[in-house]
Structure 1
């Protein structure tokens, strides 16, 4: 399973690129040097909460969106995430979710 720092870095890179920002431009927006952005995106450093808030502001996303990186995780992490989502549902809603997911899987296999 990928480390959280690596997933966070990949997510920040994904969001930065979607905004059309270079590492240099992004670094200026959050008040750091470009090398710090590089280290962050490679998962070699983890920013303090104050910097995370600046990152979210610069990327024009809510802070929670920076941590929305399940799609970047490996298969084991995605499976665990699906399992956790199911556990949060009551039994009736689990049955509904299972049927919907089953239909989705079958349609993707066709």
Structure 2
């Protein structure tokens, strides 16, 4: 496992996914099902599942309701340090690589080549 820190500024798609994963982690720590959390915040489980998978863009109001229901401080939702499997990390790298222009992609390849030694 690798620790990964979310970047709230740049990588919005990745950040949404990580914030969703953090919500899921907090929910599981509280031994709460998706059904129970969804009920507490008055949404359906499909929408909560989409939030946890980074497929939905929750409003600030929704994030406040989630943090209240999880009895967590709001900042904890954005504390995205969590364990990421090597498979997930490879997928994130692929997505990032697809967003790079040709010059940046070449530079990234050079850096990875050095790290792989």
TM-score interval for Structure 1 and Structure 2 normalised by the shorter chain: 0.5 to 0.7
Note the aligned Cα RMSD (angstroms): 2.2
TM-score, L = length of structure 1: 0.63
Q: Which has the larger radius of gyration?
A: 1
Name the counterpart of 1:71.
82
- More helix as a share of residues: 1
Q: Which residue of 1 aligns with 2:41?
A: 30
Provide Cα deviations, 1:15-67, integer angstroms capped at 9, x if missing partner: 00011111000000111000011101111012100010000000001101110
Distance in 1, matches of 2:78 and 2:30, equals 17
Gaps of 5+ in 1: 75-110
Give the structure with the higher percent strand.
Answer: 2
Please give the residue correspondences for 1:1-110 in structure 2 after superposition, counting only pairs within 5 Å: 3-72=14-83
Give the gaps of 5 or more residues in structure 2.
1-10, 90-117
Higher relative contact order (CA 8 A, sep 6+): 2
1:58-103 deviation line (CA, Å, top 9, x unaligned): 00011011100123465xxxxxxxxxxxxxxxxxxxxxxxxxxxxx
Moved over 6 A (4+): none
